């Protein structure tokens, strides 16, 4: 699957920091849900919502509800879910540094 430019930027940064990650990571044992990026060593899933227009699957009530179910289930089985949009996308770098510093 083709990744967004923002997800690609996140991956380049993770690689430069030596942080192992996986793209389109299937995190649930029975559902087909995937996260944009997973950092298994930190139990972190990264979702870049990419809401840059009024019409997006994430902005319909059904799409939003499905995302809530996915994120809730991820957390119930032990994952931390970090979500970013075009507005807060730069917070990713600080958040990951905070998590990696906390585990050292």
Read off the pLDDT band of 102 (50, 70, 90): confident
* Fold classification of 14-99 (topology level): Endonuclease; Chain A (3.40.960)
Kindly state the percentage of the chain with pLDDT values over 90.
73
- Strands in 1-104 per DSSP E: 22-26, 34-39, 44-48, 80-84
Tokens representing 34 are 């995937």
Whole-prediction pTM value? Answer: 0.88
Domain ranges of the chain: 14-99
Compute the average pLDDT of residues 27-45.
97
Q: What is the pLDDT of residues 53-92, one digit of tens each?
A: 555 665 688 988 999 999 999 999 999 999 999 899 999 9
Order of all β-strands in the sheet with 80-84 = 22-26, 34-39, 44-48, 80-84
């Amino acid at each position: 699957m083709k990744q967004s430019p923002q997800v690609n930027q996140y991956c380049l940064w993770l690689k430069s920091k030596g942080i192992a990650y996986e793209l389109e990571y299937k995190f649930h044992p029975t559902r087909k849900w995937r996260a944009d990026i997973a950092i298994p060593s930190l139990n972190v899933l990264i979702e870049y919502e990419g809401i840059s227009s009024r019409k997006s699957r994430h902005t319909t009530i059904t799409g939003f509800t499905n995302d809530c179910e996915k994120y809730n289930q991820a957390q119930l089985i032990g994952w931390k879910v970090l979500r970013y949009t075009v507005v807060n996308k730069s917070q990713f770098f600080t958040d990951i540094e905070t998590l990696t510093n906390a585990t050292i």
